[in-house]
Amino acid sequence: MNTSKNPYSEFLIDEVSGIEVPDTRHKIWAEGYKAGRKGKQVIKSVIKAQNGMALVFDDKGEQIPEYQGRYEQVRPRILEDAPLSVVFSYAFDYESELTTVAREEW
């Protein structure tokens, strides 16, 4: 298998309806490829802070600087690169607990 190019197309044609639909194999392969690269930190949890900043952590609790910054600017890249297992949260202030939300709401 080619380790640098996704062998699955992003979409396929449904045999019954003839409609173009996303091919889940494409996304699964892409997530596995990103997770398997040596030295690459994989996103495990993401927090949107009250001040509008996004904080991103790996499975060891270490920050991943290339994904952090103003929420509006980094959100698209985080959502694109984050595996399905990522925990998305809001921090409303420094004293309350984090509020976990669905990926779509974050």
- Judge if 45 and 35 occupy the same domain: no
* Whether residue 1 is found in the same domain as residue 26: yes
Structure confidence at residue 34 (pLDDT): 58
pLDDT tens, position by position, for the chain (106 residues)? Answer: 334 677 888 888 888 888 988 888 887 877 775 555 556 788 999 999 999 999 999 988 999 999 999 999 999 999 999 999 999 999 987 777 899 999 999 9
Contact present, 81 and 33 (Cβ < 8 Å): no
Tell me, yes or no, whether 52 and 21 share the same domain: no
101 lies in the same domain as 49: yes
The answer to whether residues 58 and 19 belong to one domain is no
What pTM, to 2 d.p., does this model score? 0.61
* 3 state SS of 78: helix
69 and 96 belong to one structural domain:
yes
Position 80, amino acid:
E
SS3 28: helix
Number of domains composing the chain: 2
Residues 47 and 80 in one domain: yes
Tell me what pLDDT residue 2 has.
39
Q: Is residue 50 located within the same domain as residue 98?
A: yes
Tell me if 92 sits within 8 A of 99, measured CB to CB: yes
CATH number for the domain including 100? 3.30.720
Instruction: Give the range of the structural domain holding residue 34, as residue numbers without chain letter.
Output: 1-40
